Amino acid sequence: MNRMHNTARRDLRNGLLFITPWALGFIVFTAYPLVSSFYYALTDFGTMRAPNFVGLRNFINLFTKDELFWKSLYNTFYYAIFALPLGAVVSLSLAILLNQRLPGVTFFRTVYFLPSILPVVAVSIVWQLLLIPQTGLINVLIRSVGLKSPGWFADPDWAKAGLILISVWKIGETMIIYLAALQDVPVQLTEAAILDGAGAWKRLTHVTLPLISPAILFNVITGMVGTLQYFTTVYVLTNGDGGPVNSTLVYSLYLYRNAFKYLKMGYASAMAWILLLITLGITLLIMRASGKFVYYGGK
């Protein structure tokens, strides 16, 4: 019994030693910042003065007095509602096309994946040049076919469309995930559907999509989180201004401005917690609804 007791104690000690680096990292880099940000959200805090506890005043001011808060929420949800479904359709369509056994398909897989690994800042600058209203290549091509070219980031009505266009161009990561899921679909099921007389559309909707639904769920959730935290591209394109006329002022950019331009750290912390709760709520709704649409092979 003593030997077994000593072995258990040694295993417990070794286990604690192994998880200590992770535990320290979690406490220092995750738990402490999380607790601190919640405390600062309840204070009037700037970098040059000590925190002054104000309770829920930051949250109340955000919801009742800050028009830019609601504007940034609107811009973020507008971007998410259009960019996320459009990106999903385009990336899934490309994955289906690139799943065919055709000569040179590996080359095209690489070409479509490349935009997703390029530096975001460099890509944003290139797209800024492409979307110049007068001389940008995109508008030159549009005018060459006799259509009226939009103003893109010089026009509040077209600025968000420019952001959506750029997001669709960078769908390489989701495309690769869909491609991997498609290659895991059993060939026997597809062949059985063909023998039963199912056409291409029925095979897609009744065989392929149900079998890759876990990958679709994963991409929807990660894509939703990414769109709600959208920041770098719009910051580079607008020099952090969110223009024209705040038409591209997304939530994360407004949070950044409050924290590092206006030095309202408590106010920005309150915004961060609101974003966390919004993201958590939407994720829970998606997970709750996924039980009716997502098929897991082991079940």
Domain stops at, among 58, 75, 99: 58
- Name 46's bridge partners: 49
Identify the pLDDT of residue 116.
87
- pLDDT value at position 2? 57
The CATH number of the domain where 243 resides is what?
Answer: 1.10.3720.10
Nearest Cα neighbor of 81 from 194, 199, 185, 228 is 228
pLDDT digits (tens, 9 = 90+) for 84-122: 999 999 999 999 999 888 888 888 888 889 888 889 999
| Mean per-residue pLDDT of the chain | 89
Report residue 141 as tokens: 């091509």
User: How much of the chain exceeds pLDDT 70, in percent?
Assistant: 98
Residues 51 and 190 in one domain: no
Least confident of 208-212, 274-278, 280-284: 208-212
Distance separating alpha carbons of residues 279 and 299, to the nearest angstrom: 28
Does residue 298 lie within any of the structural domains?
A: no
Residue 48: the pLDDT is 75
pLDDT in tens, 123-137: 999 999 999 988 889
Rounded to an integer, what distance in angstroms lies between the CA atom of residue 61 and that of residue 69?
A: 10
- CA 114, distance to chain mean position in Å, is 18
| Same domain membership, residue 78 and residue 54 | no
| Model confidence, pTM | 0.88
pLDDT band at 298 (very low <50, low <70, confident <90, very high): low
The answer to whether residue 14 is domain-embedded is: yes
**pLDDT above 70 (res 251):** yes
Residue 9 has pLDDT above 90, yes or no: no
Q: Is the pLDDT of residue 14 over 90?
A: no
Which amino acid is located at 244 in the chain? P
Tell me: do 46 and 128 sit in the same domain.
no
Q: How confident is the model at residue 207 (pLDDT cuts 50, 70, 90)?
A: confident
129 and 14 both lie in a single domain:
no
Summarised one tens digit per residue, pLDDT across range 193-205 is: 888 888 888 888 8
How open is the CA angle 225-226-228, to the nearest 5 degrees?
A: 65
Which residue in the block uniquely carries the two structure tokens 């679909």?
Answer: 185
Number of domains in the chain: 2
Nearest to 251 by CA among 285, 220, 221, 225: 225
Of the candidates 37, 58, 79, which is a domain's last residue?
A: 58
Rounded-to-integer distance, Cα 265 and Cα 268, Å: 5
Q: Is the pLDDT of residue 219 over 90?
A: yes
Q: Kindly state whether residues 86 and 234 are assigned to the same domain.
A: yes
Cα dihedral sign, 138-141-147-149: positive
My answer on whether 209 and 117 are in the same domain is yes
- The token pair at 264 is 């309202």
Check pLDDT > 70 for residue 297.
no
Residues 25 and 111 in one domain: no
* Whether the predicted pLDDT of 166 surpasses 80: yes
147 confidence band (pLDDT: 50, 70, 90): confident
Give the chain's largest Cα–Cα span. Answer: 89
What average pLDDT does this structure show over 211-222?
92
Q: Please, which residues bridge with residue 49 across strands?
A: 46
Tell me the residue range of the domain where 38 lies.
2-58
DSSP state for residue 298 in the 8-state scheme: T
Q: Do both 30 and 103 map to the same domain?
A: no
Quick one: tokens of 160?
Answer: 């968000």
Of 295 and 85, which is predicted with more confidence?
A: 85
Query: At residue 1, does pLDDT exceed 60?
Result: no
283 plus 168 within the same structural domain: yes
Report yes or no on 95 lying in a domain: yes
How does residue 234 score in pLDDT terms, banded at 50, 70 and 90? very high
